[in-house]
Structure 1
Amino acid sequence: MSDLPIVPTARYGVLDQEVAADDVSLAAERLRRQGYCVFDGGFSSAELRDISEAFERVQAAYVAAHGNQRLAAIDELNTIRALLLHGEAWFVRLASWPRLLSLIGQLIAGRFMLNQQNGVINPPGQGYNQGAWHRDLPYQHFVTSRPLAVNALFCLDSFRQDNGATFVVPGSHLQEAFPSESFLASEAVQVIAPAGSFLVLDAMTFHCGGVNRSERPRRAVNHVYSIPHIRQQIGLSVGLAGASGLTAEQRTLFGLGTEEPRTVAEYLERRSIR
């Protein structure tokens, strides 16, 4: 016999109710109410293996290009900036994964862009720069009725207690101030998620990585999708300007053709072709 409570379904006085027609709309409802959800990416084991191998190749090349000591000195050793600019097609595919974009489209009204895509490594037995509480629109203390940005953290490895799975404060996307230490201690939730899933958050939800007590790094790929008014962390549109094979939807997603006009004449020209 199950110990789980039986949730009543009868109601009265209810004039409006959300409808979760499928797992995408249910995930969107969870995020709007709680500030986060775990969302199955629908990847095969072979696809996960390919993404993992691509991640390792980019990480090795990135450290070789920028220097281990230099990256460590500026607290960037466990981050790989702008993965999709490093020549591995999988990270373009991952950022424009149709199943994920269908969820983002239910959360951000109208047009949205990829603001950033970074590899994140939680190393065993040591701290890292995502191990402190933050929002993914940091230093901001305001809330909105709809998300301005959504964070989709792709779990390249499973997120478990022993390897430092991400902590979140449910509902903190609806409160301006960071919670008290007492509230944090009792209400923060560590999110367990399988490899191949996305931990999706309203970008104003406070979260942080946990301490990795396992023997292996916990790897993830962080995406932030935002309304076009928020500038990209790194100019993806510049880095991808000469890329071939991008669809029209991907070009829009990555910001190509939406850079700020450099002159009044350029602004007017863009207006004329809309």
Structure 2
Amino acid sequence: MNAVTPMPRYGIREQIQSETALDTASESLRLLGYAIVDGGYDAGQLARFSDAFDGALAKLYAKYGLEALAAMDEQNTIRILMQMDPLFLELAMNANVLEICKRLIGGTIVLNQQNGVVNPPLGARYNQGAYHRDLPYQHFVSTRPLAINALFCLDQFTTDNGATFVVPASHKQEAFPSDLSLPGFQVQVAAPAGSFIVLDCMVYHVGGVNRTAKPRRAVNHVYTIPLIKQQISLPTALGEDFTQDRATRSLLGYDFQVPIDVEHYYGSRQR
């Protein structure tokens, strides 16, 4: 590791210690609410994800119809992407992302959702193009994250194709910033393909406008404490036989389903 020249300072008796890229990302998440994390994938792996994403989108349109999806404003979102192609379970299990989640959330982590997201070309509107938190409608702050968002950049995120804007440190303030101040606060996060833009889910953020002629594709993951219900029940959607790996089943929420009666509750206690 390269030596770091200490910044000039005085009156400082305590300092955060960061020695690795994951240390720095964790520090950035705690202080600013966002960071860019390398996914660790090579060009061949990225190509596989890209082809699988396009195939999943084609399956979605074939199954439900583009017009029907557009009527629900769902034409640019692929819900439970790993259900369309199990390859995307690899993304949800990314070691760097899970390590950051463990550091910031601590304890047991559950995948709340995995959705493919398309930012359409030529400035078309899409449903991520409005400011929000990924725990929407919540106006509170906590001493540590309850949920982490990991947005996988299947394509490079640039200022031209609608890279995500964030309001740094807004996970520490309950209310949304004023319209007068917001333009000066927001930061656009450009990131290379194959990386994750990782957010504290209480950071206000928005997808930018894609002014290019190509769609900008991403895969969004939200990881939470088990107390927060999943967007869609992954165990129900994926089925009992999707995986038998114990750690994977825990992450996907198989161990945290709401018992339907007292007998099922007793069964969970026995396990």
Give TM-score scaled by structure 2 length: 0.94
Check the 8 A contact 1:161/1:190 in 2, yes or no. yes
Choose the corresponding residue for 1:110, options 107, 116, 131.
Answer: 107
Equivalence map 1:1-274=2 (5 Å) = 8-14=7-13, 16-86=14-84, 88-125=85-122, 126-273=124-271
- With over 3 angstroms needed to count, the CA separation of the structure-2 counterparts of 1:18 and 1:270, relative to structure 1, is same
In the TM superposition, what whole-angstrom CA distance separates every residue of 1:156-203 from its partner, at most 9, and x where no partner exists? 000000001000000100000000112111110010000000000000
Distance in 2 (CA, whole Å) between partners of 1:271 and 1:249 is 18
SS of aligned partner of 1:30? helix
The one-letter code sitting in structure 2 at the alignment partner of 1:198 is: F
Check the 8 A contact 1:116/1:233 in 2, yes or no. yes
Distance in 1 (CA, whole Å) between partners of 2:74 and 2:245 is 32
Distance in 1 (CA, whole Å) between partners of 2:106 and 2:8 is 30
Give the drift of 1:238. 1.3
SS of aligned partner of 1:257? helix
SS of aligned partner of 1:26? helix
5+ residue gaps, structure 1: 1-5
SS of aligned partner of 2:113? strand
Check the 8 A contact 2:113/2:223 in 1, yes or no. yes
SS of aligned partner of 2:88? helix
Distance in 1 (CA, whole Å) between partners of 2:233 and 2:7 is 50
In the TM superposition, what whole-angstrom CA distance separates every residue of 1:86-141 from its partner, at most 9, and x where no partner exists? 1x222111101122211111111211100000000000121100000000000110
Distance in 2 (CA, whole Å) between partners of 1:40 and 1:159 is 13
CA RMSD of aligned residues (A): 1.4
Give the drift of 1:13. 4.1
Check the 8 A contact 2:37/2:96 in 1, yes or no. no
SS of aligned partner of 2:106? coil
Distance in 1 (CA, whole Å) between partners of 2:6 and 2:208 is 32
Give TM-score scaled by structure 1 length: 0.93
Distance in 2 (CA, whole Å) between partners of 1:23 and 1:34 is 16
The one-letter code sitting in structure 2 at the alignment partner of 1:234 is: I
Give the drift of 1:7. 7.3
Check the 8 A contact 2:243/2:249 in 1, yes or no. no
Q: Percent identity?
A: 50
Distance in 2 (CA, whole Å) between partners of 1:176 and 1:85 is 35
The one-letter code sitting in structure 1 at the alignment partner of 2:34 is: Y
5+ residue gaps, structure 2: none
